[in-house]
């Protein structure tokens, strides 16, 4: 007897099918036929999506690259401003005490 090769599904595929089953528009057996996956597997993915959905809102999403770059530019600008103010204060302090 030869073993049948198992198919490996991506996380995106599992999430998509699980979410489709969670919506309940089509019965599980129809979704299973459409995606060529066993109905029991779809039920498991549906349950996992439902259980792990709160995790999406539990942690803050990481900032996008553009947001991080903007924030970094703002911080560098603030550093420059503070350095200029410090130099001005040092100069004025030296004039008053000198």
Dist. CA 84–CA 20, nearest whole Å: 58
Q: Which two tokens stand for residue 48?
A: 């996992």
Query: The whole model's pTM is what?
Result: 0.56
Whether the predicted pLDDT of 2 surpasses 70: no
- CA distances 71 to 34, 61, 80, Å, are 45, 16, 14
Between residues 52 and 58, which one has the greater pLDDT? Answer: 52
Between residues 4 and 70, which one has the greater pLDDT? Answer: 70
Percent of the chain with pLDDT over 70: 97
């Amino acid at each position: 007897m030869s073993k049948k090769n198992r198919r490996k599904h991506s996380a995106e595929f599992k999430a998509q099918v699980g979410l489709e089953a969670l919506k309940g528009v089509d019965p599980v057996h129809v979704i299973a036929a459409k995606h060529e996956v066993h109905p029991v597997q779809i039920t498991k993915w549906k349950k996992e999506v439902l259980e792990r959905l709160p995790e999406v809102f539990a942690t803050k999403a990481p900032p996008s690259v553009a947001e991080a770059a903007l924030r970094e530019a703002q911080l560098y600008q603030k550093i420059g401003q503070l350095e200029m103010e410090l130099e001005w204060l040092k100069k004025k302090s030296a004039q008053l005490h000198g």
